Amino acid sequence: MLGSFISQVFGPMELEFFRNALMVSTLAGALCGLVGVFVVLKGMSAIGHGLSHAIFGGFVASTLLGINVLLGAGAWGVASALMIGGVTRRRIIGSDAAIGVITTASFALGLALIAMFDRTARNFEAVLFGSVLGVSLADVLVVAAVTVVAVAVVVLHYRSLLFVTFDPEVAEVSGVPGARLEAILMLVLAASILVTMQVLGVTLVAATLVIPATVARMLTSSFSRMLVLAALIGAGSGFVGMVASYHLDVQSGPAIVLVGAGLFATVFMITGHRGRMRVGDLVSAHGGANSYLKEVRPEDLASPQSRLAVPPQFVPPSSGR
Amino acid sequence: MRKADDLLISLDQITCGYGNEVVLDRVDFSIERAQFTGVVGPSGSGKTTLLRVVTGTVSPAAGSVWQSNGLRLAYVPQVETVNWNFPVTVGECVLMARTTRRGTTSEGSTRGSYGRWAPWPSRDERRLADEMLARLGIGGLADRHIRELSGGQQQRMFIARALLGEPQLLLMDEPTSGVDVKTRHEIVHLLGELNSEGLAIVVTTHDLNGMAAHLPHLVCLNREVIAAGTPGEVLTPAVLERTYGAPMEVLEHGGMPVVVDHYGRDASSVRAIGNSGKSS
């Protein structure tokens, strides 16, 4: 009975593309979970969301021009990341709006290019929502490589990253190269979005950055444990989501995000008040977490653009917003 | 330029601003070894900016900053600016001081482990952190989450982190804002003790009676340096009115100056305020 159930669930493992897709989604989940810890703690969820949309423009442009997609969209993503980083760092008035303009314009450009020059449009729908199909071994290796780099960055710069994430000003006074670390983080974030968007979908990557880190925060008050937990939760959601995606015939992005959201709801209920205190208060009186965050007023909580460490109610970002 | 041996840092005719707004206007400011100075002034008078020029996180538009060779300074931010829900324990927070190699010249005591890349602390580091926490009266709390500390303990934790970098100069932004009277006393005494051990300290404060009057040296700041000297010298109605833009009276109590708001020449205006407050 159980045996047949297992063989039914994991039957598609015999298919090579599914094995690859499963590996990619698991790695992608772990990668986004790890990077997401910084996104959440630095209040960068808006940036993560924006960046994924920005990269879409580069993806479409390089596909239509016949340039290597990873290189083309990568360069586009790096340029957007640095631009967003520069704007945010200088605290120019309305940096939120600046992020919105840069990234949404890029996304819109991508959509416009498709409408004008592409006849099939099938290719691009996969990038918007994530697809299991056509995942090659090369894709697995690329995601694995970025994951290794991300882990190396986090381990080698652990102390500096912790310091600069918690207390950027004092870190700078103490000689931690804050601007350089932030640039490295932005690059790792851009690379992570770039290589995972095929499976996770441009419009859903932001959720896979935010959910595992938020769930991990509800479970622990230690930075190092939060990193490990977020990566494990991300990997688990990626794996389960991909299996569900195959059997329910749902795109992989939504499947993975829904598994994560289910986990979030479960942990939210199980950890009760304690867990809610931990994430809820990321945005309370001491919401002035770092240079990006100013005082958070209750009316800000309703706005999807508010730069909260964690959105109080979880709204998976959608392309329409 | 030759400077006195005791000079740690010296700001010369510093002008600073954000956008078109001038925050500091030709400010001279210097700190010597073992000096204890309070910078007082109203909100927006440039106190925090002055500290940032000293730490080097803000570069002035004009003027020059001179620093003694290999100066080790530590900065304690306002407690309100910190995300107390950040997933970090007291011990981990204190050990952030040992993230970088910069800031240490004393050999021996910190040999080997300083600037360690490994994410986890060495046994030596944990011992150092425990000792420092114990010295500041919050020993045994290293494994607590930072949120579980009281306001005074949070301030002590930050001082512990600062001291772990073995600074010659400690800069604190509003160390007594938002804490109760008892905690304020504790902090003032702790800083006095550290200063008597030879540490130079600069604090900013808007609390004239609770903090400034107890310090040996004050600088009154409002865009420019209005006056500098002992509390007895600078806490005068003339200086305070120029600093705060509002008339104040200075009384004396137990040999200490006490600053009180001044609502006008005769008490009738005060009564009028009181009455209008009640009647509505």
Instruction: Please report the pLDDT score of residue B51 as a whole number.
Output: 92
- Residue to mutate among B67, B88, B95, with most A CBs inside 10 A, is B88
Instruction: Please report the pLDDT score of residue A120 as a whole number.
Output: 65
Q: Which residues of B touch A162 (CB under 8 A)?
A: 88, 92, 96, 99
Instruction: Please report the pLDDT score of residue A66 as a whole number.
Output: 82
Nearest CA to CA, how far is A193 from chain B (Å)?
25
Dihedral of the alpha carbons of A169, A170, A172, A178, in degrees to the nearest 10: -60
Q: Which residues of A touch B102 (CB under 8 A)?
A: 174-175
Nearest CA to CA, how far is B37 from chain A (Å)?
20
Task: Verify whether the Cβ–Cβ distance B81 to A288 is below 8 Å.
Answer: yes
Residue B41 has pLDDT above 50, yes or no: yes
Q: Which residues of A touch B75 (CB under 8 A)?
A: 169-170, 173-174
Residues of B contacting chain A (CB within 8 angstroms): 55-57, 73-77, 80-89, 92-93, 96-103, 116-120, 145, 147, 161, 165
Query: Phi and psi (nearest 5°) for B24?
Result: -125, 135
**What distance in Å separates the CA atoms of residue B201 and residue A285, rounded to the nearest whole number?**
29
Q: Is the ipTM of this complex over 0.90?
A: no
**What distance in Å separates the CA atoms of residue B24 and residue B14, rounded to the nearest whole number?**
7
Beta strands in B86-211 (DSSP E): 169-173, 200-205
Instruction: Please report the pLDDT score of residue B37 as a whole number.
Output: 95
Nearest CA to CA, how far is B165 from chain A (Å)?
9
Nearest CA to CA, how far is B92 from chain A (Å)?
9
Residue B84 has pLDDT above 90, yes or no: no
Pairing of strands B7-18, B62-67: antiparallel
Position A222, amino acid: S
Q: What is the pTM of this model?
A: 0.80
- The chain-wide mean pLDDT, for chain B, equals 83
DSSP letter (8 states) at residue B75: E
Nearest CA to CA, how far is A54 from chain B (Å)?
29
Instruction: Please report the pLDDT score of residue A294 as a whole number.
Output: 35
**What distance in Å separates the CA atoms of residue B280 and residue B276, rounded to the nearest whole number?**
6
Task: Verify whether the Cβ–Cβ distance B88 to A166 is below 8 Å.
Answer: yes
Per-residue pLDDT tens digits for B217-237: 999 999 999 999 998 899 888
Nearest CA to CA, how far is B196 from chain A (Å)?
24
Pairing of strands B200-205, B169-173: parallel
Comparing C-alpha atoms, which of A188, A143, A142 is closest to residue A161? A188
Dihedral of the alpha carbons of A44, A46, A50, A51, in degrees to the nearest 10: 10
Name which of B57, B74, B87 is nearest A172 (Cβ-Cβ). Answer: B57
Name which of A158, A174, A278 is nearest B100 (Cβ-Cβ). Answer: A174
Average pLDDT over residues B118-123: 82
Weakest mean pLDDT among A208-212, A304-308, B31-35, B211-215: A304-308
Residue B116 has pLDDT above 60, yes or no: yes
Nearest CA to CA, how far is A162 from chain B (Å)?
8
Residues of A contacting chain B (CB within 8 angstroms): 41, 155-156, 158-160, 162-163, 165-167, 169-176, 217, 220-226, 278, 281-282, 284, 286-290, 293, 309
Instruction: Please report the pLDDT score of residue B203 as a whole number.
Output: 94
Instruction: Point out the residues of chain A with pLDDT beneath 50.
Output: 281-321
Task: Verify whether the Cβ–Cβ distance B74 to A173 is below 8 Å.
Answer: yes
C-alpha to C-alpha distances, A145 to A28, A34, A191, A230, nearest whole angstrom: 11, 14, 10, 19
Quick one: closest CA in A to B89, which residue? A222
Task: Verify whether the Cβ–Cβ distance A288 to B83 is below 8 Å.
Answer: yes
Name which of A173, A221, A224 is nearest B55 (Cβ-Cβ). Answer: A173
The pair of structure tokens assigned to B223 is: 């865009």
Per-residue pLDDT tens digits for A40-58: 998 877 788 888 888 888 8
Query: Phi and psi (nearest 5°) for B237?
Result: -55, -40
- Helix/strand/coil for B134: helix
**What distance in Å separates the CA atoms of residue A204 and residue A53, rounded to the nearest whole number?**
10
Task: Verify whether the Cβ–Cβ distance A162 to B56 is below 8 Å.
Answer: no
Q: Which residues of B touch A221 (CB under 8 A)?
A: 87-89, 145
Q: Which residues of A touch B117 (CB under 8 A)?
A: 156, 158-159
Instruction: Please report the pLDDT score of residue B179 as a whole number.
Output: 81
